[in-house]
Amino acid sequence: MTRGPAVNANTPHPPHRTDDELARLDIPDLLRHGLTAAPGPHRTALFGDGAAAAAVLLDRLATEPRSVAFLADTVHAGGVARAAELPEPLPHRDAATLVRQWLRAATELDGGLTADDSAATWLHAVATIIELKQRAREAYSR
**pLDDT tens per residue, range 74-102:** 999 999 999 999 999 999 999 999 999 99
Residue 140: the pLDDT is: 86
What whole-number distance in Å separates Cα of residue 29 and Cα of residue 26? 5
Q: Check pLDDT > 80 for residue 2.
A: no
What whole-number distance in Å separates Cα of residue 93 and Cα of residue 141? 28
Q: Check pLDDT > 60 for residue 3.
A: no
Cα-trace Rg, the chain: 16
Sequence-separated (6 or more) residues with CB below 8 Å from residue 126:
51, 54, 55, 58, 68, 72
Task: Note the pTM of the prediction, 2 decimals.
Answer: 0.87
Q: Which domain range does residue 69 map to?
A: 21-141
Does residue 6 fall inside a structural domain? no
- Nearest partner of 58 among 69, 42, 47, 48, judged by Cα: 69
Amino acid symbol at 47? F
**pLDDT tens per residue, range 11-26:** 455 568 899 999 999 9
- How many domains is the chain built from? 1
Residue 67: the pLDDT is: 98
What whole-number distance in Å separates Cα of residue 86 and Cα of residue 139? 35
Segment 59-79 shows an average pLDDT of 97
Does residue 101 fall inside a structural domain? yes
Q: Check pLDDT > 50 for residue 5.
A: no
Segment 117-133 shows an average pLDDT of 97
Residue 13: the pLDDT is: 54
Does residue 4 fall inside a structural domain? no
